Amino acid sequence: MGVNPSNEARYQQVWGKYKERLSLDYDVDDMIPELKADVGLPLAADFSFLPEFIKRFNPNPAIWPVIEYAKKHYQIGLLTNMYPRMYQAIAQKTDLLPEVVWDVIVDSSVVKLQKPNPEIYQLAQKLAKVTNPAEILFVDNIEANLIYPKQMGWQTFLFDCTEPEKSSAFLSKVIINR
């Protein structure tokens, strides 16, 4: 993209200006003109960050059988912090997500709330139509995102992305033993 030691501080400054809004209401591609003008990035006229981010998205096929098992036995949902348009772009690439129909999708860029804001968990529970919070098993790879759901009474599972096979196997045991 043209980020180098001489312009990295300016790049970080522009990115930082919008960081808090990126999973809410600010489309990541809206900063491209500013990155071109203020940072001097030589981005093509048709450049988009989304394909770049999606290229870096690492699928976790080890968890797919766990999700498929859970779908057969429970209601399942997706609660995610995503940039606007990102979930749809990822979902269109069949090798990145399991082929499963989620019962509920809470996409931060759609609901304009993001984890770990307590309101997104309250909304997710409402959309899932769950009255007993203990029925919810919430899986996330960021510990800070598990704090409020635990306080709400949800069961939580910290997924270790550095060891996806091991974490998926352990999660599978947790789900089977529910």
pLDDT tens-place string over residues 19-39: 999 999 999 999 999 999 999
Q: What is the CATH number of the domain that holds 91?
A: 3.40.50.1000
Do 76 and 131 belong to one domain?
yes
Q: Are residues 40 and 70 in the same domain?
A: no
What is the number of domains present in the chain?
A: 2
Residue 59 falls inside a structural domain: no
Residue 68, SS3 per DSSP: helix
> How would you classify residue 93: left for phi > 0, otherwise alpha for psi between -120 and 50, otherwise beta?
beta
pLDDT in tens, 110-161: 999 999 999 999 999 999 999 999 999 999 999 999 999 999 999 999 999 9
What is the pLDDT, as a whole number, of residue 81? 95
pLDDT of residue 32: 95
Residue 2 lies in a domain: no
User: Given this model, what pLDDT does residue 58 score?
Assistant: 81
DSSP per position, 133-169: GGG-EEEES-GGGGHHHHHHT-EEEE--TTSHHHHHH
145 in the same domain as 81:
yes
d(CA 103, CA 174): 20
Residue 154 included in any domain: yes
> CA-CA distance, 99 to 156, in Å (whole number)?
24
The predicted model scores a pTM of 0.88
**pLDDT tens figures, 76-92:** 999 999 999 999 888 88
- Give me the chain's average pLDDT, please: 94
pLDDT score at 78: 96
Range 4-31 average pLDDT: 94
Please give the residue range of the domain that contains residue 39. Answer: 8-47
Q: Is residue 57 one of the residues assigned to a domain?
A: no
pLDDT for 55 beyond 90? no
Backbone angles phi, psi at 156, to 5 degrees: -130, 155
* Res 1: pLDDT: 83
Query: How many helices (H) and strands (E) in the chain?
Result: 9, 4
87 & 121 share domain: yes
Residue 101 domain-assigned (yes or no): yes
Q: What is the C-alpha to C-alpha distance for residues 167 and 85, in angstroms, rounded to an integer?
A: 28
**Residues 73 and 159 both lie in one domain:** yes
Please tell me the predicted confidence (pLDDT) of residue 7. 95
Are residue 85 and residue 163 in the same domain, yes or no? yes
Mean pLDDT for 174-178 is 89
Residue 48 or 55, more confident: 48
Q: Residue 99 domain-assigned?
A: yes
